[in-house]
Amino acid sequence: MSGSPIDWLIAPFTEFVFMQRALAGAVMLSLSACPVGVFLMLRRMSLTGDAMAHAILPGAAAGFLLYGLQIVPMTIGGLIAGMVVALSAGAVARLTVQKEDASMAAFYLISLSLGVLMVSLRGSSVDLMHVLFGTVLALNNDALLLIALSSGLTLVALFAFWRVLVAECLDALFLRSVSKLGSPVHFVFLGLVVVNLVAGFQALGTLLSVGLMILPSAAARFWVNRVESMCLVSISIGLVASVSGLLLSYHASLPSGPAIILSAGAVYVASVLLAPRGVLLSRLPRTAHRTA
């Protein structure tokens, strides 16, 4: 029947090409960005990911000023800007007394204000909203190709550097004392963060692209405690959030990007409350034990 729950779930993706493209982009982003988010969380760098999301804005704005809303120039500009900010913040942290979080915050504030100013010089408020919040329902072949390339690169890099990345999360100082890969892999990892944020920027904008990276990984932390399991659970949560967010956007006529991130946020809140390592299940046995 046309009004059945199955049709409610499947029809938007079978009838409309733009929904199929949006789903493909969101799925590919979930496969790569969610595992990167796990390592960000384990490194206690979740807010660094948010800072990096803002850092790509001036590069994307420069591409917009020169070529308009074209994917390739904005992507290249965002990638360059993100790399410059990441390397600059890392250099300041290693060459001065300032910690990396403080230097990253300084650079991201400069980048955000500069990017908004650059877009405002030429574009309208609609253009600014497009850059900041993305248009996942308007993904074309070029955008999907970019997301596919970034996802493939990320998965290959994670597979190649898996042991070193896990070791650095456990004890970065020890890794640097026994291996020369510590510092290089740190910058490789920052590069992966930038690549995924730039890819996510096409679909979710600079302000929301980090949401698909952080929220599923933060939720996964309440369900499992092994890195491999966290990556798999975070990908699953990212996929569920992408599908549910797109369906919510379609049926309720809501902005697609915020709907996806809010869906991930709902899973996070549910995990905080109901997961085995969440508030209720982790504390109730202790309370019962004390009462007894």
- What pTM was computed for the model? 0.83
Judge whether 220 and 230 are in contact, CB under 8 Å.
yes
Query: Per-residue pLDDT averaged across 53-59, rounded?
Result: 81
Higher-pLDDT residue of 178, 198: 198
Alpha-carbon distance 189 to 187, whole Å? 5
User: Which tens digits make up the pLDDT trace of 6-19?
Assistant: 778 888 888 889 89
- Structural tokens at position 86: 């990441």
Binning pLDDT at 50, 70 and 90, where does residue 286 land? low
What is the pLDDT confidence band of residue 244, given thresholds at 50, 70 and 90? very high
What number is the average pLDDT over the span 16-29?
A: 91
Provide the greatest CA pair distance for the chain: 71
pLDDT at position 267: 96
How does residue 126 score in pLDDT terms, banded at 50, 70 and 90? low
In 3D space, the residue among 143, 116, 144 whose CA is nearest the CA of residue 60 turns out to be 116
Please state the separation of Cα 87 from the chain's center in Å.
Answer: 19
Q: Name which of 38, 77, 31, 27 is nearest 55 in CA terms.
A: 77
Q: What backbone torsions phi and psi does residue 145 show, to the nearest 5 degrees?
A: -65, -45
On the question of pLDDT at 165 being above 80, the answer is yes
pLDDT of 38 over the 90 cut: yes
Find the mean pLDDT for residues 246-273.
91
Q: What pLDDT shows up at residue 292?
A: 45
Which of 143-147, 156-160, 214-218, 229-233 is least confident? 143-147
Q: What's the confidence (pLDDT) of residue 97?
A: 74
Comparing 247 with 71, the larger pLDDT belongs to 247
Residue 52 in this model has a pLDDT that exceeds 50: yes
**Tokens 């600079």 appear where?**
206
Q: Which fold has domain 5-291?
A: ABC transporter involved in vitamin B12 uptake, BtuC (1.10.3470)
165/124 Cα distance (integer angstroms): 42
pLDDT tops 80 at residue 71 = no
Reported as a pLDDT band with limits 50, 70 and 90, residue 4 is confident
Using CA atoms, how far apart are residues 116 and 201, in angstroms rounded to an integer?
15
Residue 289 confidence (pLDDT) above 70: no
Higher local confidence (pLDDT), 216 or 53: 216
Output the CA angle 74-77-79, nearest 5 degrees: 105
Question: For the chain, which residues make up each domain, given as ranges?
Answer: 5-291
* Number of residues that this document lists for the chain: 292
For residue 124, pLDDT over 70 is answered with no
Q: Whole-number mean pLDDT of the chain?
A: 82
Per-residue tokens: 91: 């250099």
State yes or no: pLDDT of 2 exceeds 60: no
Identify the H or E element spanning 117: helix 100-122
pLDDT band at 1 (very low <50, low <70, confident <90, very high): very low
Q: Which residue has the higher pLDDT, 135 or 15?
A: 15
